[in-house]
Amino acid sequence: MTANDRTGTKNAPPTNVDPAELRSFGRKRGRKPSARQEHLLAEALPNVAADLTHPLDTNGTDYRETWLEIGFGGAEHLVWQAEHHPDVLMIGSEPFEDGVIKALAAIEEKHLANVRIHPDDVRPLIRALPDASLSRAFILFPDPWPKRKHAKRRLVSPHTLDLLARVMRPGAELRIATDIGDYARTVLLAIRGEPRFRWTATTPKDWRERPADWPGTRYEAKAIREGRRRYFFKFMRV
């Protein structure tokens, strides 16, 4: 399950499975990796890969909180948060190989010790997490699946919110961003049906303007270039 592979929807798998478990991403690979990228996947990834048996194992390091980004795309947001919050364990899930490589390169370049990567569908990772273990979760500019027949593949859904509600502690924050008006409606309808989350906005500014501690991504930059409105939602686990 990814938030950011916007180019591979045509390669989606057959739909004769439980709709709640439909894959919300398309392709997992783009161009052939270079020798340097192959090295990162073979040598660097095992060192930072999230262990589904013990996903919060930090080799003795004591982190203040654990945050999860679902579908980190080019990893700009994931890396920024890890740099600015070295006392927080950042777990990023992204099945698209190009995005994983970008994250690995940044982790190595910036010597980030507080990042773990799950290079696949996020649902097994969420199921492996203990109850009330997350203080923050991010779903930023997910694949819009704009065709009506594909809307059931959208990442934000009652099923996803149910999974997240178990692993997010009371008071935890769920941040969701999109540049698609109909997706914003999907998000709000899903939240409306999930009493364990509450929308924290009190004025239009709260969802029209990106907060200072919420760095931009390449997907937001594309939305700006193409003249699309962006929506920045914050929800609290109650």
Using an 8 Å Cβ cutoff, are 119 and 44 in contact? no
Spatial separation of the C-alpha atoms in residues 29 and 95, rounded to whole Å: 8
Tokens of 183: 């997706």
Residue with tokens 């692993």: 167
Residue 219 token pair:
């997907």
* CA dist., res. 192 & res. 183, Å (int): 14
Beta strand extents in 27-125 (DSSP E only)? 65-70, 88-93, 115-118
Hey, which residues are catalytic here? 143
Residue 195: alpha-carbon gap to chain centroid:
22
∠ Cα 37 217 58 (to 5°): 60
